[in-house]
Amino acid sequence: MRRRLVIFIVAFCVSFVLMVGLSLFSMERFSTYTAYSDQVDHTNSVIQYILKTEIALKDVDRAERGYMITHDTMYLRYFNNNIDSLYTMVADINSLTEDNPAQTTNIALIKSSIALRIAAARNNVAYVDTSHSPALSKYYYDSRGLMLECSRRMRELLTTEKKLLETRFEGERFYQELTTDTLKYLLFIFCVITLVLFALMIRELRGKMTFQVELEAKVIDLKRSHTELQEIAYAASHDLQEPLRKIQVFSDMFLYQSATKLGDGERATIGRIHDSANRMQVLITDLVSLTSLTKIDEPKTTADLNSVLQYILIDLDELVKKKNATINVQNLPVIKGYRSQLKILFTALLDNSLKFTPEGVKPMISIEWAYTNGLEIADKNPNLAKKKFIRITCSDNGIGFDDQYISKIFMIFQRLHPVESEYKGKGIGLAICQRIMANHEGYIIAHGEPQVGAKFMLFFPVED
């Protein structure tokens, strides 16, 4: 499941990077196309101004000749107005071609030619005003030659701009096609990636649906197993205990009726039978207690652990006095839990600490608490490291244990000491503690050191 999730995330990241890259490339192509398009428009504007300038230059020539023929001042006004327009247009062309060094040189030459042409035309007009001879003046011929020179330079300027327009138009057309193709490929790749991701999502969804069906089937099996476990617990609490009670009763009757007829060895054998039956009955009772914890009949309530500990210490008062034990309890918090199970939990822990204390050693038991995160239990689930818990620590100075047996001490009927050992235990108390902590969505961990003591830490989740 995790591997498929990683593959899905990697595929999504790759597709995202690919889409971003293609989008940026497409934007860059479109920007270049826009730049060429602007350059084409700019060159067209320059050509339009060149054509207008050429027309204005011809208008000056027509006004000059009209005045020479008619001496009408209207032609003279037309002549002067066209000269002003001509200078303005040349200045506009100069500003539009500042980015083109070749055209800047041509514009300078045109300015010079136009200035000479205008000067010659003015001299010719002045000659016409002062001379009454019908012969054409030298200024007229100079003016015609300069007119042809201006026209030639204007054509050169126009030819250069048309070549530049052709080059820029080719670039515009090329990038227009490239941008169109890029957008097509981008759309195609986007559709392919979308379909692939959609197919992966459908596949993953189908897998989850299949997993959900299997999970529901396993839940049904688990419920059936739970029901069978309850039936076994009921049989253990009723049917299995009945033969044990009969063994106890008949062994007592046999021992009483045949007390004078039996030897010491025979009485010891019957006594062992009776003790084994008692031990078997206690084990069955504890097993029933453990299985009964799988079914919770009470709601969670606010439980003051100080009050819970008071009742427990009252019940254990006789054993505490017998062991001459010292129990230090810090002011404990209030938590949400099952009060009856909490009493069983702390009773089992205190009983465990009192029970596994060497003879002649005064038991020293302390119960403390603190808020903490789940780093200490992150090995069970890495997500617990970020959650908050109430950690309750129960430590003692008993016989302790080696940490290599930690996994064993919470298993049912698993003892670290033989049955004949001086430390009497049934190997089920800590299994019950673990079951109760699971019911509270918490965890229990232990640390021990042989002949030094043991420490049990309970982690209750902090509810918002």
C-alpha distances in Å from residue 40, one per residue of 7, 45, 170 = 49, 9, 10
pLDDT at 453: 86
Q: Which of 247, 262, 292 is the last residue of a domain?
A: 292
pLDDT at 421: 46
Query: Do 161 and 43 belong together in one domain?
Result: yes
Beta bridge partners of 327: 365
Query: Do 405 and 258 belong together in one domain?
Result: no
Total count of domains within the chain:
3
Task: Give the whole-angstrom CA distance, residue 15 versus residue 21.
Answer: 10
Query: Is residue 226 domain-resident?
Result: no
Q: Which of 183, 202, 221 is the last residue of a domain?
A: 202
C-alpha distances in Å from residue 179, one per residue of 36, 175, 187 = 12, 6, 12
Query: Do 107 and 168 belong together in one domain?
Result: yes
What's the length of the chain? 464
The answer for residues whose C-beta is within 8 angstroms of residue 311's C-beta and 6 or more apart is 343
Query: Do 61 and 144 belong together in one domain?
Result: yes
Task: Give the whole-angstrom CA distance, residue 429 versus residue 435.
Answer: 10
Task: Give the whole-angstrom CA distance, residue 108 versus residue 420.
Answer: 120
CATH of the domain at 174: 1.20.120.1730
Query: Do 309 and 186 belong together in one domain?
Result: no
Query: Do 339 and 395 belong together in one domain?
Result: yes
430 contacts 438 by C-beta, under 8 angstroms: no
Go through 61-75 and write b for each residue having 16 or more CB atoms within 10 A of its CB, e for each that does not: bebbbbbbeeeeeeb
Query: Is residue 167 domain-resident?
Result: yes
Is residue 361 within a helix (H) or strand (E), and if so which, with residue range? none
pLDDT at 459: 93
Is residue 42 within a helix (H) or strand (E), and if so which, with residue range? helix 2-70
pLDDT at 458: 92
Query: Is residue 215 domain-resident?
Result: no
Query: Is residue 6 domain-resident?
Result: yes
Query: Is residue 20 domain-resident?
Result: yes
Burial of 433 (0-12, 13-18, 19+ CB in 10 A): buried
User: Comparing C-alpha atoms, which of 113, 140, 109, 118 is closest to residue 127?
Assistant: 140
Count the neighbouring beta carbons within 10 Å of the beta carbon of residue 9. 10
Q: In the numeric block, which tokens belong to residue 108?
A: 């300078």
The pLDDT tens digits along the chain (464 residues) read: 566 667 667 766 777 777 777 777 777 777 887 887 888 888 888 888 888 888 888 888 888 888 888 888 888 888 888 888 888 888 888 888 887 777 778 888 888 888 888 888 888 888 877 776 777 778 788 888 888 888 888 888 888 888 888 888 888 888 778 778 777 777 788 788 778 777 877 887 887 788 788 888 777 777 776 666 666 666 656 666 677 777 777 777 766 666 666 666 776 777 777 777 777 766 676 666 666 666 666 788 888 999 999 989 888 888 888 888 888 988 999 998 888 888 988 988 888 888 888 887 888 999 999 998 888 888 888 888 888 999 999 999 888 887 777 777 777 655 555 444 444 555 677 888 888 888 888 898 888 888 888 899 999 998 76
How many angstroms separate the most distant Cα atoms in the chain? 182
Q: In the numeric block, which tokens belong to residue 422?
A: 């001086």
Query: Do 248 and 101 belong together in one domain?
Result: no
Query: Do 128 and 184 belong together in one domain?
Result: yes
The answer for residues whose C-beta is within 8 angstroms of residue 374's C-beta and 6 or more apart is 381, 384, 385, 386, 387, 388, 389, 459
CATH of the domain at 450: 3.30.565.10
pLDDT at 168: 82
Is residue 235 within a helix (H) or strand (E), and if so which, with residue range? helix 138-237
Is residue 383 within a helix (H) or strand (E), and if so which, with residue range? none
Query: Is residue 249 domain-resident?
Result: yes
DSSP secondary structure code for residue 427 in this structure = S
Q: Which of 187, 202, 217 is the last residue of a domain?
A: 202
Query: Is residue 218 domain-resident?
Result: no
Query: Do 426 and 364 belong together in one domain?
Result: yes
Query: Do 357 and 263 belong together in one domain?
Result: no
Query: Is residue 213 domain-resident?
Result: no
Task: Give the whole-angstrom CA distance, residue 305 versus residue 331.
Answer: 9
The answer for residues whose C-beta is within 8 angstroms of residue 209's C-beta and 6 or more apart is none
Residue with tokens 């229990």: 444
Query: Do 455 and 335 belong together in one domain?
Result: yes
SS3 assignment, position 143: helix
Domain that holds residue 430: 297-461
336 contacts 301 by C-beta, under 8 angstroms: yes
Query: Do 287 and 304 belong together in one domain?
Result: no
Task: Give the whole-angstrom CA distance, residue 42 versus residue 37.
Answer: 9
Is residue 363 within a helix (H) or strand (E), and if so which, with residue range? none
